[in-house]
Amino acid sequence: MTVTPELTPAQRTEVELLARGKQEKSRTLRDLKLPETPEAAHALLLRLGVWTEAHTPYADRLQAALSPVALPVPAFPDEARLDLTHLPGFAIDDEGNRDPDDAVAVEALAGGLTRLWVHVADVSALVPPDSPLDQEARARGATLYLPDRTVGMLPDALVEQAGLGLHDVTPALSVSLDLDAEGNAEAVDVQLTRVRVQRLTYSQAQAQLDAGQEPFVTLARLARASRQLRESEGALSIDLPEVRVKADEHGASVTPLPKPEMRQVVQECMTLAGWGAAIFADDNEIPLPFATQDHPTREVRGDTLSAQWARRKTLARTRFQPSPGPHHGMGLDLYAQVTSPMRRYLDLVVHQQLRAFLAGGEPMPGKVMASHIAQAQLNADGTRQAERLSRRHHTLRFVAAQPERVWDAVVVDRRGPQATLLIPDLAFDVPMSTPAAPGTALRVQLTDVNLPALSVRVRAV
């Protein structure tokens, strides 16, 4: 029988510091003949009731900031902007989204061309390079999205001021592409604008598309043509399950995300905006953190889950560099992430560089920008890892609450006797010893959840 020890307040603090990754040793754990690891400390705190199962230490361990940004936010400067308030714009996102930073609109042109407008919140108007807000955003790298809370890269007050669709008229930095019926761009441009935007969920936008309403029909047509053109240049299509994980003190939920066509339409429009911004920057010799990616390591054919899984594993990591280069996974000759400056620091840098050029100033030199890229990437990597571990933790809480449930699973990979199973309803992969080949469908139960180790036992039924 395991005896739960009684600890003094000082001992509990010491154990918590180890569990949070704030110190490497613990005399208390050593005296209890327990491993001096964050996982062992976490397990002890759960046994003592000091922590509940809702507590996640991963952001602490990875040094991701958990406090909101409290810096003051300036007002938008009074400057010349192209007035596009006559064009209906739409910020389309998941239900409950709190930081709407991009929107789409279309404009018919002569000669059968259609101008696609992608409006992006003009964050760089409020966050100039090396300002206190910029330094804080760089130190965080990205907004931290956890199942139980969101910790912004920038102050909530800035999101409220700059978010598209949160006010009747909003300043924006807008990328335009004049597209023909085959998805080719005849011209691209970037301008400071003033826009009027309505917020919609993906399901609301899909209902408009299904009803044959404009501009959704035109947006879908442009997106299909663009996607087909990119696929002809080698763009990879990867379709794996996605879920929304939510949690609080009382429990966790995992909900599969529907994939209406409008989700892909918006994603394609954002991809086009990144391509257009990169072309504009290259034409005007503006250094940007261009996103590049090497050729896939091999070709994988098929649309099964195991093929999609294998195809994703062929992708090299995206690299960011001050000069343009091809992004093979997207089938583009050059690309820059531009549509999330409230959520990703490198997108904010792109905006700062474009704004400096548009205002007639001097963009940051490539060497200075490269140092910003390196610092922000390091911090953003910790943020993304904290998100992944926290999602896994709360997914396991959801699983532990229903130990008798039988889950559909698919073998997506194997190495010797060990296979990787993907559970689509959870977007969750687990190892299992089985002779089943990739592509095999199985029914499994998930038992013996161990939250500190982030592990679970899998049994075929």
Average per-residue pLDDT for the chain: 94
pLDDT value at position 2?
55
pLDDT at 166: 95
Taking residues 387-415, report their average pLDDT. 96
When pLDDT is averaged across residues 140-146 and rounded to a whole number, the result is 95
389 has pLDDT over 70: yes
- Rounded Cα–Cα distance for residues 114 and 128 (Å): 33
Better pLDDT: 96 or 239:
239
196 phi and psi, to 5 degrees? -115, 125
Half-sphere CA count of 308, side-chain side, radius 13 A: 13
pLDDT (mean) for 364-372: 87
Q: How far apart, in whole angstroms, are the C-alpha atoms of residue 461 and residue 189?
A: 58
Residue ranges of domains in the chain: 9-51, 82-394, 402-460
Instruction: Name, in order, each residue with C-beta under 8 angstroms of 429's C-beta and a sequence gap of 6 or more.
Output: 412, 420, 421, 422, 423
Q: Is the pLDDT at 392 greater than 60, yes or no? A: yes
Asked whether the beta carbons of 324 and 357 are under 8 A apart, the reply is no
User: 240, 312 in Cβ contact below 8 A?
Assistant: yes
CATH of range 9-51; options 3.30.1370.60, 3.40.1640.10, 1.10.10.10, 3.40.50.300: 1.10.10.10
Q: Report CA-CA distances (Å) from 177 to 186, 271, 285.
A: 7, 12, 19
pLDDT confidence of residue 446: 97
For 281-321, write each residue's pLDDT tens digit.
999 999 999 999 998 888 898 889 999 999 999 999 999 99
* Residue that has been written with the tokens 């327990």 in this structure: 34
Q: Which burial class, exposed, middle or buried, applies to 258 when counting CB atoms under 10 A from its CB (0-12, 13-18, 19+)?
A: exposed
Give the C-alpha separation, 74 to 220, whole Å: 37
Q: How far apart are CA 237 and CA 152, in angstroms?
A: 30
The reported pLDDT for the residue numbered 366 is 83
Asked which of 334-348, 363-377, 431-445 is least confident by mean pLDDT, the reply is 363-377
With a cut of 70, say whether residue 4 has pLDDT above it. Answer: no
Q: Give the model confidence (pLDDT) of 154-177 as tens digits.
A: 999 999 999 999 999 999 999 999
- Of 111-120, 158-167, 370-379, 425-434, which range is least confident? 370-379
Residue 387 scores a pLDDT above 90: yes
Instruction: Indicate if the pLDDT at residue 249 is higher than 60.
Output: yes
Percentage of residues of the chain with pLDDT beyond 70 = 99
CATH number given to 402-460: 2.40.50.140
pLDDT score at 373: 86
Mean predicted confidence (pLDDT) in 331-337: 96
Task: Identify the CA nearest to 392 among candidates 256, 243, 285.
Answer: 243
Q: Are 91 and 102 in contact (CB under 8 A)?
A: yes
Is the predicted pLDDT of residue 1 greater than 60, yes or no?
A: no
**Contact criterion met (CB below 8 Å) for 252 and 395:** yes
Max distance between CA atoms of the chain, in angstroms, equals: 81
Q: What is the pLDDT of residues 8-34, one digit of tens each?
A: 999 999 999 999 999 999 999 999 999
Cut 0.85: pTM above it: yes
Chain centroid to CA 78: how far? 32
What per-residue confidence (pLDDT) applies to 223?
97
Angle (nearest 5°) at CA 159 between 157 and 164: 135
Return the percentage of the chain with pLDDT > 90, whole number.
87
Strand order in the sheet with 170-179: 82-83, 185-195, 170-179, 114-121, 102-108, 89-93, 197-201
